[in-house]
Amino acid sequence: MKKIAGPLLVIIPDRLSHLIKKGEVTARYYNPGNCFAEVHILLTNDDQPDLSLVQKMVGDARLYLHNLPIREFLRRQGWNPLVLHKWRAEGLALARHIKPVMIRTHGAWLNGWLGVRIATTLAIPLVVSLHINPDVDTRQRVPWWPHWRRRILHQIELYFEKVTLRGADRVLPVYEPIRSYALRRGARHIQVCYNFLNPDHIGKKQDYRLHTPPRLISVGRQIAEKNPANIIRALARLPQGELTLVGDGPLHDTLRQVARECQIEDRVTFLPSVANDALCRMLPDFDLFVTHSEYWEISKATLEALLTGLPIIQNHRLGDPVPELQGDWVVLVNNTVAAYEQAITRLLDDDDARTALGRRAWQHAQERYAPVKTEKVFADLYRSLLQ
């Protein structure tokens, strides 16, 4: 298909070097469908990633990286409106030089605020993707006391979120529970678009015969809201089974200690970082995917497991349920040691139930989350906005 004439400008707060280090590099992530022949990525930080390692994320487009680090401005003069407007003016000047035909922002903070100004000035479309529900995932999780400074910052962010969402031509939550937040903050045109995942290395699990010993895997940031300690303790109650924990975070050392206290450190493998290509290739070799999350989301790791056809055990989150996890394609349990133990034991003991669960997971995921379908949604949207 013919390339879109003119550059795409993507404005992100992420440090790409960190994503590359973690192996979170998805082909064409910033240029779905290879729509654009030229992509400019504007980082609102001072990160200097290796251009050759970022190239995969824009497909075969010509790639340009730019820095507009907001923290340098804020460090010099604090939350001064004049400083912020000067920062935004520099971003607009850069955009005038690039001459993009579309703006895409990941998130709706200062990068979105800048995106609105550029889009309005240049009369081009602005597409904003939302990857969290800030009301639930940040503001509600930070108490005013003793974290009042951090909570004030989150309240300040609300202004930029409102400006961004009201000014965007399309707001794209990456899962359903973000929709209510976007509506509440003034978004006009909302379309849930699930993140398209690794298009080349997610393979279908073909053989559901149980390994000896059984192989369990859990993938996720090792933080309080995703603490897999009860999964480790459940494994300790089982006569056999090995658990691979992929991820890192502030709880990493604590989780190693839990494994030692349970005297199963020889049955738990910790992999702080695995490249996404390698992880996706690994998944079919496991028997169960077992995870814990209190976030109101369907995580990337869970989506990859679904697309693989792995049988999945996940907790009921505290609060409203996650819509994407309500069905017979995943086993939901309470976040207790006993509940995880019971679910794991049942699936390991019942070959037919385990196989049927994995096949239902695969079928459900192919209909909704297959990379070729989700990537096409973004590509079609881009083209429709530029007709």
Write out pLDDT tens, residues 244-272.
999 999 999 999 999 999 999 999 999 99
| Model confidence at 74: pLDDT above 70 | no
Instruction: Please give the average per-residue pLDDT across 14-23, as a whole number.
Output: 92
Domains 8-197+371-385 and 215-368 share a fold: yes
Q: Tell me, what's the pLDDT at 60?
A: 96
For 262-350, where are the alpha helices, taking DSSP H only?
276-282, 300-308, 337-349
The string of DSSP codes covering 227-282 is: --HHHHHHHHTSSS-EEEEE--STTHHHHHHHHHHTT-GGGEEEES---HHHHHHH
> Which residue has tokens 């559901």?
208
Mean pLDDT computed over 84-113: 96
Q: Around Cβ 1, how many Cβ atoms within 10 Å? A: 8
pLDDT average, residue stretch 290-313 = 96
Picking from 115, 87, 88, 90, the residue whose alpha carbon sits closest to that of residue 103 is 115
The amino acid sitting at 381 is: L
Does 355 or 1 have the greater pLDDT score?
A: 355
pLDDT band at 143 (very low <50, low <70, confident <90, very high): confident
- Whether 76 shows a pLDDT value over 90: the answer reads no
The per-residue pLDDT for range 306-315, each reduced to its tens digit, is 999 999 999 9
| Residue from 48, 8, 49 nearest 32 by CA | 8
Mean pLDDT, rounded, for 78-89 = 80
Q: pLDDT, tens digit, for every residue of 111-137?
A: 999 999 999 999 999 999 999 988 887
pTM (2 d.p.):
0.92
- Residues of the chain with pLDDT > 90: what percent? 85
In this predicted structure, what is the pLDDT of residue 302?
Answer: 97
pLDDT at 98: 98
Q: pLDDT tier at 82 (50, 70, 90 boundaries)?
A: confident
What is the residue-averaged pLDDT of the chain? 94
- CB 113, CB 163: distance < 8 Å: yes
CA–CA separation, 237 vs 206, rounded Å?
29
Name the band, by pLDDT with cuts 50, 70 and 90, for residue 73. Answer: low
Of the candidate CATH numbers 3.40.50.720, 3.40.50.10490, 2.40.50.140, 3.40.50.2000, the domain formed by 215-368 belongs to: 3.40.50.2000
As a whole number of angstroms, the distance between CA 33 and CA 76 comes to 41
Q: Per-residue confidence at 354, pLDDT binned at 50, 70, 90?
A: very high
pLDDT tens digits for 339-349?
999 999 999 99
Report the pLDDT averaged over residues 290-307: 96
CB atoms within 10 A of CB 94: 17
Q: Which CATH number fits domain 8-197+371-385: 1.10.3720.10, 3.40.50.970, 3.40.225.10, 3.40.50.2000?
A: 3.40.50.2000
pLDDT exceeds cutoff 80 at 77? no
Looking at residues 200-223, what average pLDDT do you find?
96
**Residue 75: what pLDDT?**
60
What pLDDT is stored for residue 146 in this prediction? 87
In 3-state terms, what secondary structure has residue 171? strand
Which secondary structure element, helix H or strand E, spans residue 118, and what is its range?
helix 110-122
Segments making up each domain of the chain, as ranges? 8-197+371-385, 215-368
**Residue 142 or residue 340, greater confidence:** 340
When pLDDT is averaged across residues 236-246 and rounded to a whole number, the result is 97
- pLDDT value at position 316? 96
The band of 62, judged by pLDDT with boundaries at 50, 70 and 90, is very high
Helix (H, G, I), strand (E, B) or coil at 111: helix
Task: Residue 250: count other Cβ atoms within 10 Å of its Cβ.
Answer: 10
In the sheet that 38-43 helps form, which strands lie side by side, from edge to edge?
Answer: 62-67, 38-43, 8-12, 102-106, 126-130, 170-173
Q: Could you give the CA distance from residue 292 to residue 309 in angstroms, rounded to a whole number?
A: 18
Check: CB of residue 314 under 8 Å from CB of residue 302: yes
* pLDDT tens digit sequence for 151-189: 877 788 899 999 999 999 999 999 999 999 999 999 999
- Report angle CA 189, 178, 225 to the nearest 5 degrees: 165
Q: Which residue has the higher pLDDT, 154 or 236?
A: 236
